[in-house]
Homo-oligomer: A and B are copies of this chain.
Amino acid sequence: MSYFSRIPKIAYEGPGSDNPLAFRHYDAQRVVLGKTMAEHLRLATCYWHTFVWPGSDVFGAGTFERPWQQGGEPMARAREKADAAFDFFTRLGTPFYTFHDTDVAPEGHGLADYRANFAAMVDVLERKQADTGVKLLWGTANLFSHPRYAAGAATSPQPEVFAYAATQVRHAMEATHRLGGANYVLWGGREGYDTLLNTDLKRERAQMGRFFQMVVEHKHKLGFKGTILIEPKPQEPTKHQYDYDTATVYSFLKEFGLENEVKTNLEANHATLAGHSFHHEVATSIALGVFGSIDANRGDPQNGWDTDQFPNSVEEMTLVIYEILRAGGFTTGGFNFDTKVRRQSHAADDLFHGHIGAIDTLALGLDRAARMIEKDTLADLKAKRYAGWDAELGTKILQGGFSLASLADEAVSRDLQPSHVSGQQELLENIVNRYIYG
C-alpha cells in the first residue's frame, strides 16, 4: 500500500475550486502562445528534498519519518523510495524529475559499492520511467555530503578527491545519458572556501577549470545531446562559493573557453542570497547568452540561509517568465522544484500542498506573462527609450566610428546639452500590475 494512497491524482478544477488537492490554474494541456502549459513550464520534482531529507535542521532531528527513512537494508529502502517517488510524480503530474546519484542509490563504502548500487538503481529508474512516462530533466552527482568533500571536490587540496569526484560525475553523466536526461547539472556546494588563510584561489580556479573542461569533453565523447548546466550559489555551506552568481560563472566560462558549452541553472533563493533579485539573475543570464534552466523556489527575505521554500509569488514569477518567454522559452531546461516543505509540515499531504501551490503560481505567472507578451507595452516603451541608439549618433558610436577625442570634438562642436528624460518607473510598475490584476 502506497504512502500516498490517500491522495488522488491531482486534476485541474479551475479557479473556483476550493479543493486543496486540485490545480486551480495549472491546466497542463491549455495552449498559451502556441504551446501547452506543460510544454512551456517543463515541471520537475526533485528527489533530494522530497524523498531523501528527513525533516532535520541544524537545531533538530528529522520530523518526517517516511517509511523508507526507517533504516533497514539500504538497497531495499532505495527501491521503496523509488516506488514512493514515482507514485508521487504520477499523482502530482509533474512530467520530469531530477536527482543526485546518492539520492537514488546508497553510497556504500568505496567506489565498488558506489558503482554497483548506483548501476542497480539506474536499472530501476529506467523501468519506472518506461512504466510511468515520467522523464529526467537532469541528473547530477553529490560532491558535498561525504566527509571526503569537506574541503571541496574539484577544488580539494587533494587530487585524489578530484579523482573520486570525477568518478562520480562520470557515472552520473552516463546514467543521465542512458535515462534520456535533458541536461546534466554541476553544483559546487563545497567548491569555495571557509577561510582565505588556507586557500590558494588561483590554484583552485585552475583545478575547477580543468574539471569543467573534462566534463564538457566527456559529454561530447558520450554523444550526450543535453545541456551542461552550472548552478550559481554565493555561499552555504562554504563561506564563499566560487560560482557566486551568473556574472561570476560567466567570468569563469570565458576564462576556460566554455561560454558556448555551459549554461546556468538559476535558483531563486541562490539569487537572493547573492544580493540579487531572481529577476536580475534570469535577465543577466539571458543577456549574456547563458540562460539554461530554473530551480524554482523562494527564500525568506528576512533569513540569511537557503530556505528552499515553494515559490508562491505570482508577482515575482510573472516577470521571470516574461523574460524567459521573450528569450524564446526553455529549450532543454525547465522549472525544477528545488523546494522543501517546512520541518513542521511532516504529513504526506503537505508534500502535495507545497507542489500544487508552486505549480499554480507558475501557471498564473505564465498566464500573466503571456498577456504581457501579447501586447508588449513594456517592450515598446523600452524600444522608444533607446531609440537614439538606433539613430545616427548611437549607431556610429557603437560601430566604432568615433574615438574618444573625435566624439568629444563632436560633442563640443554641436554644443550638446542633453536633458534628462523620465525613466517612468512608476508607470511601468503600474502596467505590470495591470497585466497581473487586470
Contact = CB atoms under 8 A, between A and B. Distances in A.
Interface stretch (A3-11, A87-95, A297-305): A297-305
Interface residues of A, number: 162
A353 B235 contact: no
A183 interface: no
A133 interface: no
Contact of A194 (B18, B63, B344): B344
A244 B276 CA distance: 11
A410 B167 CA distance: 9
Contact of A303 (B170, B304, B404, B408): B304
Given A110-B417, A428-B198, A438-B15, A214 B170 contact: no
Interface in A256-282: 272-277, 279-280
Given A254-B251, A382-B198, A115 B412 contact: yes
A432 B83 CA distance: 33
Residue from A248, A357, A404 having most chain B Cβ neighbours under 10 A:
A404
Contacts of A404: 166, 169-170, 173, 214-215, 217-218
A412 B118 CA distance: 15
Residue from A18, A158, A436 having most chain B Cβ neighbours under 10 A:
A158
Given A250-B251, A388-B160, A344 B166 contact: no
A278 B276 CA distance: 19
A61 B386 contact: no
A411 interface: yes
